[in-house]
Structures are given as C-alpha cells and as structure tokens.
Chain A
Amino acid sequence: MFKYILRRLLLTIPILIGLSFLVFIFIRTLPGGPGIALLGERATAESREAIERQLGLDKPLFVQYTTYLGNLVEGDLGSSIVTRRPVMDELLERFPATVELGIAAMLFAVAVGVPLGYLAAKRYQGVLDNASLFGSLIGISFPIFFLALILKYIFAVKLGWLPSIGRLDVTRSIEHPTNFYVLDAIIARDPSALADALKHLILPAIALGTIPLAITARITRAATLDVMSEDYVRTARAKGLDPRVVDRRHVLRNAMLPVVTVIGLQTGLLLTGAVLTETVFAWNGVGSWMVNAINNRDFAVIQGGIVFFAAVVVATNLVVDISYAFLNPRIRYS
C-alpha cells in the first residue's frame, strides 16, 4: 500500500508540470492583458506597454515560463496584479471557505442521497422509487444559479429565516486561526458564532449540494439494485440471516463501491470552486476568485489557482482509490 501511494504521489509531479505548461501557454493566448484590465479606457498604449514590461510580459515565453517554474518549485505562486498580494496567501485564505462549503454540500448530498437511493431501490417501482427518480431528474437539470436565487428570495428576503450572503454575521468578531469558520467557532468555544456559521452554510450547501444529491441518489439506487440481484445476497437470505444484517453487510457495503467513486469525484470537483454558488452567496472561496482573475487577466492567480486545483483533484482521487481497499478487502494495492 505504501509503495502504491508513493508511486501515485510521484506521478503527480509530471502531471502538474505538464498542466502548468498548458495553462501558462493558454492564458497568454487570451486577448487582452493586465494593462487594459487595470486601467480600462484610461490606458494609453504607453501605459499598457509599461505595465506589461514591468510584469515581464515582454520577455520571450520560454524565459517567462522558466521564471515561473523556478518560483513554483519554491512554493511561490507569484503575486496578483490586482491585489498585489502573494497568490499563495490568497489561496490559503479562500480555500478553506471552498472546502467548508464543499464538505457541507457533500454531507447534505450524502446524508440525503444515499438513504434516498437505497430506500428507492428497496421499494423498487414503488411511489418512493418513482418520486426519487423524478426528483433526481429535476435536481440535475435545475440551474444552480437560479435555485440559489430562489432559495435566497424565499428564506432570506421573504421569510427572513436565513442570511443571504457571507459566512458569518458581518458585525460578529471572532478569531480565524484556521479560516474554517465552523471550526474557528468551536475553537473559540463560542456557541452563538457556531450557530451563526452553520446558519450561513445552510442555503449555499443546499444550492450546491442539490446536483450531487441527485447524482448520489441515482447511483446508490442503481448500485443497490445491482447488488440485490447477486447470488450471494440471495444465498444469504436463503440461509435465514436477519434481513438487516444482509442489507448492511452484503448489500450496502458492496453497493457503496461505485457510490464512493462518484462521491469522491464530486467532492474533488466541489473543492475546486463552486463558481456560481460562491458568486450568488458572496462566499469568498476560490471559484469566484478565479472568475475575477480571468476577467482581469491576472495571470499569476489563474496559473497558481489551476495548478493548485489539479493537485487537489489528484489528491482526492488518491483518497478515493485508497478507500476501496478498506471497503473491499479483496482489493490490494501493490
């Protein structure tokens, strides 16, 4: 197992280098540059050239890439031309926000989606099954942006039950040692701050988690139906085992293999930024940050952000693969 993990980690290096090169080349082919983005119609040709000269964008691409790669090896992702702050600093501030929202959304999706899919399979072709199929279709098709606006309109504007933006009441002051606001509130032993942070998570987590919920429910249902028809399940029942034991040990456990894959992949995607949800809820995560960076031709942010996301996705996939070994003892990595 150790060798397997090590091999996977080593493979990550050429993947990231290759990806960084592709991203580097691609974003420099985008029309426009930071000069125009910073000054708009105030930018004269001279000022645009001066800005780009100062940023080294007039140098040959090879020189620019070598400089960038050298910094990357040292963990320096460069600086944002807009905020003039190190990209790494901004990532470390924003990534926890995205992780917190992503985890909340996946918890919602899994907590509702897995039981729903399982029960739908158990009551195959019944009312619950048909309702869950219909609901899944709606969930997958409904635009997140629109769902988020509707949720905010109903629960924040009209009913006033929940906040519409942000991660915490703006008038509340607590320390943020981790930038995971829920965790920070626990560390601070502040129950009202904890409740506030959780309250702010509800609507964005529901908006973001709806599609993963629908997908998880469908996959769980399909996997459960598949396993329930297996011979070993029929044998277990025939032997007179308690139905709940059969469900738990034989059906659910084996059905979870594909479900874990899907959950892992979706989690990896969510961790790279839920652009629409973050934008609508003014959630200061990496998704909205990247959109602004692209609009501003903020090269360092775009490059650094994408390389970072790739590392996150690779790590997430590795965790998923390793979890197989625990779910299915027959799987061995060597």
Chain B
Amino acid sequence: MRHSVRGRCARAAAVAAALALTAAACGGGDGGGDDGGGGGDEDVTMIFGTAADPVVLDGALVSDGESLRAIDQMFEGLVTLEPGGTEVAPNLATDWVASDDGLEWTFNLRDDVTFHDGTEFDAAAVCSNFDRWHTFEGSFQNPAATYYWQTVFGGFETFDPNSGAPKDSLYEGCEATEEHQVVLTLTKPSASFLAAMALTNFTFASPDALEKYEADKGEVDAEGIFRATGTFGTEHPIGTGPFKFVSWERNNRLVMERNEDYWGDFPGNIDTLIFRPIPENAARLQALQSGEINGYDLVEPQDFTTIEEADELQLLSRPAFNVGYVGMNQAVEPLDDIAVRQAIAHAIDREEIVDAFYAGQGEVATQFMPPELFGYADDVTTYEYDPDKAKQILTDAGYDLPVKIDFAYPTDVSRPYMPDPQANFEAMVEDLEQCCFEIEEKSAIWTPTYLDNVDNGRYGLYLLGWTGDFGDPDNFIGTFFQSSQKAWGFEDQEIFTCLDDAETETDQEARVTKYEECNRLIMDFLPGVPYVHTEPALAFTANVSGYQPSPVSLEPFSLVSIES
C-alpha cells in the first residue's frame, strides 16, 4: 500500500492543528481581575460588565448611563453626593454660600488639585468649563446631546429656534473672583441647581486639554449629526478624578488606572479599572459566574435568586430613586372630581401588585418621590386598599356604579419602575372592576404613540413613572406638578406656588420643610396614585467589597477593593 508524500504531510498538518486547538482549549477560561489584598506588589484589576459602550467621554455631551458611569471615575465637579445617598457634599468646592437674593453662589475651591495632565485646577478652569457649556451652538444644542444643561439651566447664550433648546437660561455667568473662588450668577433664584451640580454633566475638564485635543471641533454631516474630529472625548478625557484614562477600544474595553496624584481619599485597592460592554443580561451573569468579570449592573429580577444562592456571588441593591404611578388626567371626566380619584386610590391593591411583580425589589409608594430624597413627608395622606370604602365614597358623591373610565398602558417596553406594564395593568383593572368601576382598556406602543398620547392628555388613567436625574425633589414633583400639563389636566395654584417657593428657597432646612408641605398638599389633592419605588440591583463576586450603590448611580470605584 503506497501513501503519497502529499497525503502524509496533509495528515500531519491536520493532527498538528488539532493538537494546537486542544492545547489552547485546555488553557482554561479568562481570569476576571487579579487577586487583590494579600499580594501587595501585584496590580489589582477590576473588570466591570456594563450594558453598553460609552458614547463619548465628555460629560457635557452625554445623557446615557454608561458614559456617565465612566466619566464619574475620571472627572469631578464642585459638589458631589454622600456615598449611597442624596445629600450634597463638598468636592472640588470646599464650601459655598448663596447671596440673600439667591442669584449669586460663591464657591471656594480646593487649592491642591491638578488635572491629569498636570495643569492646575482653579477658578479660571471652572469658568472656562461653564462658559464652554453656555456657548454651545448648532448641533451641540441638540436635546439629546445637552439634555442635562437644558434640564437644569435651560437655554444657551445663542438662541436657536430650531434646536429645541429653551430661549431663557437660568445661567447668567461665572466670575473668578480669586484664584480659588468663583461666583456663579443665576438669572433667577434656584436652590435645586446646587444638587444638580453633583451631576456628572457638570464635572470639569482640563481647559488646556479641551483646546489641545479640540473637544468641540468637528463637522456636521449631511444628516445633521455632529462628527467630532477632536480626540478629547475619545482619547484624552482629562479630569481630576481618582482614575485616569488609559485606553478605549470601542465595544471591547475602556481601561483606566489609579491616579497616584489624586488629591482625595482612595480607600480601595483597585489599580486598573476596566469597563467591558456586555449587552445581553444572561451573558453578563455567566461572565460573572465564570470569573471573567468582577461585577455588573442592571441585574434582571429573574437572576436575583441565582445570585443570592451562590456563595461566590453577592447581590447589592441600589436605594430606590424612581416612582411608578397611575396618572389621572383631570381634563377627562369624572377624574376632575376628588371623590373619584380617592375611590380609585382605595380600590387598587398596591401592596399585592408590588409583591407579585417586583421580585422583592419594590416598595409601596405613598407619594411621588422616593424616601431617600429630602423633603419626603412621613405623614402624607395615605389611601389604604379598601374597596368598600371606595364604593362608599362614590355613592356618597352621588355616582351610579359602576363608574366608567378609560385606562391605558404601554406595550413593547420594560422600565425599572414597571418591568411588565401589562401585568400591572391587568391586576389594577381587576381591582377597579371588582370594586366599582367599568374600565375601557386602551394600549399603545411605548414609542412614540403612548408617550405622545399621555403628553397630549388623550388618556384618562394611564401607567407611567419616572427615574430621578439628580438628588433634588424638584427633579420629581417639580417636574410633574410645578406647572400646568396636559398629562395631569389641572391648574392648582396652591401646589404650583408651593413648588415655586420650595425651588427658590436657598436655606436648606427651610427647603426640606417646604417640600414636605408640598408633598402633603399633593397627596391631599391626589393628581395620581403613586404605587411603587423599585431598587435596581448590581451583582459582584463575593471578594469585592466597598461598593456603595447610589440612588443616582453616582458610584466611585475608588471605594472598591478586591480581596484574594
């Protein structure tokens, strides 16, 4: 039997390839994060699984969670929030004071801070950043790009009627009165702006780097999208934070390293921090289980039990910072009658719904803001589940039962405060119909129809909610009730005035009292039925410690340690 030389070579090559693959396969899975703690000289690496890649590492131009998470580690602002809470704390500003008329805010700055490029942080840098934001033009005024500037301050120096940005601005100007003192001037009194200064969007970049790496340079393409040509937000995001940028391979990894010259405390032991985008929930969990990552965010409720039961994993809950509610549009009769609104509140078994559909991560809401936020009132009027009482209220008010009303829910969506809208809806409809109502059921696709319909007052009852942007009641009840809106369909000057006064009150203690009063007023008036606050969850390997879940997701990795 003869064998050709070519045949022997081919077989040998095939065997060699198979052996190589086998050798590679036996190498084992990835190691997620080096050991920490014990080996002092060994670099400690933390790998965190994120749901998506950042958009750009420039706080002024983003509104998505993953960009903000990354920017949080490298940039800082005047103030921050206490870890795990919403109380404003000093950061790059050591202290501050508002003028009597509330228009001027004087901030004293730290004098021992440098940017990652070695340039000094000072009052001029603060004003340079504020002026940059205020003078954004063209595509930069796109609401998707500068959502938070527009939410907090409103308009820009140049008004562009096509941009969608408001004409008026809360921001007047910035003045460096001393080397380490700035005065921010507002166009009208606002105390909510202080908490908003803790937002990642108002953190400071090195002015030298902004210019050198052409942060605002680019071109607008034929479709109106600004394409940055500068590299500030992609290769040189230079701030003052506890971590410094190392590299960013799109959709693969964002690498940061410990800032050895950091001015503040760095109690954690992380030397290298890597954010790894893993869009799919099950993939993030399996990566955690296999040790390829040390932690991840946005844990799905169906995974809570798996994580809690695994000795090598741990589940952490974020304090609730959202609210789910049944909205009531008083422009639709008979919702303009307080008796009907009260009856609806008494007819819905909120506790049963929260127990059934929130996997233990929900708590029943009594008002339109979460307990974590100052101004939360413990003594608002509550509406316990009592269908008999609901019937009584309606009959006393002269209604024939059942009372007819329409009720809408969104489809094709899951929100943190409403993971399964249809389930919530069906349970509520059953409660209402068993009591004293006849419901005309409506539904629409979340975008754009449902939200359009709600905004334009086309529904009577509707399911909706809100997740807070920053730690101020104005971002909750101010957003909902400070002015007349078609979604709510009412004009109540007492509530509007209460919220106006609370927003402009610069004395913090007085503000707290004022907001508590507003919450009582609102729950007496009952424009809607708040029913849930939910606690999103993060998962880590058991050897991770120090992570402080924050209601607004302001979570510094400088506090985190990995133990061997």
Seen from chain A, the residues whose Cβ lies within 8 Å of a Cβ on chain B are 31-51, 53-56, 67-68, 70-71, 76, 78-86, 90, 93-94, 149, 152-153, 156-157, 160-171, 173, 176, 195-196, 198-199, 202, 279-282, 284, 288, 292, 300
**Cβ 8 A contact of A83, one of B26, B55, B143, B283:** B55
A166 near B21 (CB under 8 angstroms)? no
Assuming the contacts A42-B147, A160-B291, A280-B283, asked whether A170 and B55 have C-beta atoms less than 8 A apart, the reply is no
Complex Cα gap A200–B217 (Å): 38
Shortest Cβ-Cβ A-B pairs, 3 listed? A50-B164, A36-B447, A47-B143
Complex Cα gap A159–B466 (Å): 43
Indicate whether B545 reaches chain A with its CB closer than 8 angstroms: no
A53 near B447 (CB under 8 angstroms)? no
Indicate whether B9 reaches chain A with its CB closer than 8 angstroms: no
A156 near B227 (CB under 8 angstroms)? no
Indicate whether B91 reaches chain A with its CB closer than 8 angstroms: no
Indicate whether B441 reaches chain A with its CB closer than 8 angstroms: no
Distance in Å from the Cβ of B459 to the closest Cβ of chain A? 14
A41 near B451 (CB under 8 angstroms)? yes
Seen from chain B, the residues whose Cβ lies within 8 Å of a Cβ on chain A are 20-21, 23-31, 45, 47, 53, 55-56, 63, 139, 142-144, 147, 162-165, 221-228, 247, 249-253, 272, 274, 276-280, 282-283, 286-287, 289-292, 415, 445, 447-449, 451-452, 455-456, 464-466
B286 near A156 (CB under 8 angstroms)? yes
Distance in Å from the Cβ of B352 to the closest Cβ of chain A? 25
Residues of chain A within 8 A (CB-CB) of B227 are: 79, 84-86
Complex Cα gap A42–B415 (Å): 13
Residues of chain B within 8 A (CB-CB) of A45 are: 452, 455-456
Distance in Å from the Cβ of B178 to the closest Cβ of chain A? 38
Residues of chain B within 8 A (CB-CB) of A44 are: 455
Interface of A is mostly: helix
Assuming the contacts A31-B447, A50-B143, A55-B223, asked whether A171 and B277 have C-beta atoms less than 8 A apart, the reply is no
B252 near A284 (CB under 8 angstroms)? yes
Complex Cα gap A33–B447 (Å): 8
**Cβ 8 A contact of A32, one of B27, B53, B448, B456:** B448
Complex Cα gap A55–B222 (Å): 8
Residues of chain B within 8 A (CB-CB) of A39 are: 63, 143-144, 147
Assuming the contacts A31-B448, A54-B224, A76-B221, asked whether A170 and B25 have C-beta atoms less than 8 A apart, the reply is no
Residues of chain B within 8 A (CB-CB) of A171 are: 30-31, 45, 47, 272, 274
Residue of B63, B247, B451, B456 most packed against chain A (CB within 10 A): B451
Residues of chain A within 8 A (CB-CB) of B47 are: 170-171
Beyond known contacts A32-B448, A40-B447, A202-B25: 16 more, CB 8 A cutoff: A31-B448, A37-B447, A41-B451, A41-B465, A46-B164, A47-B143, A76-B222, A78-B221, A79-B225, A84-B56, A84-B227, A84-B228, A90-B250, A164-B290, A171-B45, A202-B21
Distance in Å from the Cβ of B484 to the closest Cβ of chain A? 14
Complex Cα gap A68–B139 (Å): 19
Distance in Å from the Cβ of B159 to the closest Cβ of chain A? 13
Complex Cα gap A163–B478 (Å): 48
Residues of chain B within 8 A (CB-CB) of A41 are: 415, 451, 464-466
Distance in Å from the Cβ of B276 to the closest Cβ of chain A? 5
Complex Cα gap A47–B166 (Å): 10
Distance in Å from the Cβ of A273 to the closest Cβ of chain B? 14
Complex Cα gap A208–B290 (Å): 21
Complex Cα gap A36–B449 (Å): 10
Residue of A48, A56, A82, A165 most packed against chain B (CB within 10 A): A165
Assuming the contacts A84-B55, A170-B252, A284-B251, asked whether A32 and B445 have C-beta atoms less than 8 A apart, the reply is yes
Residues of chain B within 8 A (CB-CB) of A76 are: 221-222
* Cβ-closest chain B residue relative to A197: B24
Complex Cα gap A284–B286 (Å): 17
Complex Cα gap A53–B142 (Å): 10
Residues of chain A within 8 A (CB-CB) of B252 are: 166-168, 170, 284
Assuming the contacts A152-B286, A161-B29, A170-B47, asked whether A93 and B223 have C-beta atoms less than 8 A apart, the reply is no
Residues of chain A within 8 A (CB-CB) of B282 are: 149, 280
A282 near B223 (CB under 8 angstroms)? no
Distance in Å from the Cβ of B288 to the closest Cβ of chain A? 9
Distance in Å from the Cβ of B15 to the closest Cβ of chain A? 13
B280 near A279 (CB under 8 angstroms)? yes
Distance in Å from the Cβ of A198 to the closest Cβ of chain B? 5
A199 near B24 (CB under 8 angstroms)? yes
Complex Cα gap A205–B291 (Å): 22
**Cβ 8 A contact of A157, one of B30, B278, B290:** B290
Distance in Å from the Cβ of B228 to the closest Cβ of chain A? 7
Residues of chain B within 8 A (CB-CB) of A85 are: 227
B274 near A170 (CB under 8 angstroms)? yes
A38 near B144 (CB under 8 angstroms)? yes
B251 near A165 (CB under 8 angstroms)? no
Contact sample, A vs B, 11 pairs, CB 8 Å cutoff: A39-B144, A42-B147, A50-B163, A54-B164, A55-B224, A56-B224, A79-B225, A149-B286, A168-B252, A170-B274, A198-B20
B142 near A50 (CB under 8 angstroms)? yes
Residues of chain A within 8 A (CB-CB) of B272 are: 171
* Cβ-closest chain A residue relative to B165: A50
Complex Cα gap A161–B221 (Å): 47
B278 near A36 (CB under 8 angstroms)? no
Residues of chain A within 8 A (CB-CB) of B163 are: 50, 54
A170 near B30 (CB under 8 angstroms)? yes
Residues of chain B within 8 A (CB-CB) of A157 are: 286, 289-290
* Cβ-closest chain B residue relative to A276: B280
Complex Cα gap A43–B283 (Å): 30
Residues of chain B within 8 A (CB-CB) of A81 are: 144, 225
**Cβ 8 A contact of A43, one of B56, B222, B247, B451:** B451
Residues of chain A within 8 A (CB-CB) of B63 are: 38-39
B451 near A162 (CB under 8 angstroms)? no
* Cβ-closest chain B residue relative to A292: B279
Distance in Å from the Cβ of B547 to the closest Cβ of chain A? 19
B451 near A78 (CB under 8 angstroms)? no
Complex Cα gap A44–B165 (Å): 11
Residues of chain A within 8 A (CB-CB) of B280 are: 279-280, 282
Complex Cα gap A161–B247 (Å): 29
**Cβ 8 A contact of B286, one of A54, A153, A199:** A153
Distance in Å from the Cβ of A257 to the closest Cβ of chain B? 22
Complex Cα gap A281–B276 (Å): 13
* Cβ-closest chain A residue relative to B285: A157
Residues of chain B within 8 A (CB-CB) of A67 are: 222-223
B287 near A79 (CB under 8 angstroms)? no
B24 near A164 (CB under 8 angstroms)? no
Residues of chain B within 8 A (CB-CB) of A68 are: 222-223
Complex Cα gap A76–B220 (Å): 13
Complex Cα gap A272–B253 (Å): 24
* Cβ-closest chain B residue relative to A159: B29
Residues of chain A within 8 A (CB-CB) of B466 are: 41
Complex Cα gap A85–B248 (Å): 15
Complex Cα gap A302–B30 (Å): 34
B292 near A164 (CB under 8 angstroms)? yes
B286 near A161 (CB under 8 angstroms)? no
Assuming the contacts A50-B142, A54-B142, asked whether A161 and B26 have C-beta atoms less than 8 A apart, the reply is yes
B290 near A160 (CB under 8 angstroms)? yes
A56 near B223 (CB under 8 angstroms)? yes
Residue of A170, A173, A198 most packed against chain B (CB within 10 A): A170
Distance in Å from the Cβ of A321 to the closest Cβ of chain B? 28
Complex Cα gap A176–B253 (Å): 13
A279 near B143 (CB under 8 angstroms)? no
Complex Cα gap A54–B143 (Å): 10
Residue of A43, A84, A167, A202 most packed against chain B (CB within 10 A): A84
Residues of chain A within 8 A (CB-CB) of B445 are: 31-32
Residues of chain B within 8 A (CB-CB) of A164 are: 29, 283, 286-287, 290, 292
